[in-house]
Amino acid sequence: TYIGSIVASVNPYKSIPGLYDCAAMERYSRHHMGEIPPHIFAVANECYRCLWKRHDNQCILISGESGAGKTESTKLILKFLSAMSQHSLELSCREKTSCVEQAILES
């Protein structure tokens, strides 16, 4: 559940299909926090948006008892941020290519 910009989660101690796949990353990358059900990708997306869109420094605090899933949560956040960064890089490269192609066509 969300508590402001905090997500409280519980380690289910089992794999839940589809919970952390590419489709989930895509879904949470298109929504602001609070628009769809709570998820660690929503927190990561909010961090990413604030970092790159508003140029605000970010920090994510992950806390919990031993075995609570802190390491796995960290891996998931890094996986999401890596995917979003790669996507932004690909878009940037396409835009540059499009600009070059446009300049050639206009010549």
For 73-95, how does the pLDDT look when each residue is reduced to its tens digit (9 = 90+)?
999 999 999 998 887 666 666 66
Q: Which residues are annotated as a binding site for ATP?
A: 64-71
Torsion sign (Cα): 5, 50, 71, 22: positive
User: Is the domain defined by 2-6+13-106 classed in CATH 3.40.850.10?
Assistant: yes
User: Any residues with CB less than 8 A from the CB of 51 and at least 6 apart, and which?
Assistant: 57, 58
Output the pTM of the full model: 0.76
Q: How far apart are CA 21 and CA 24, in angstroms?
A: 5
For residue 92, what pLDDT is reported? 61
Report whether 45 contacts 101 (CB < 8 A): no
Q: Which residues are annotated as a binding site?
A: 64-71
* Every domain of the chain and the residues it spans: 2-6+13-106
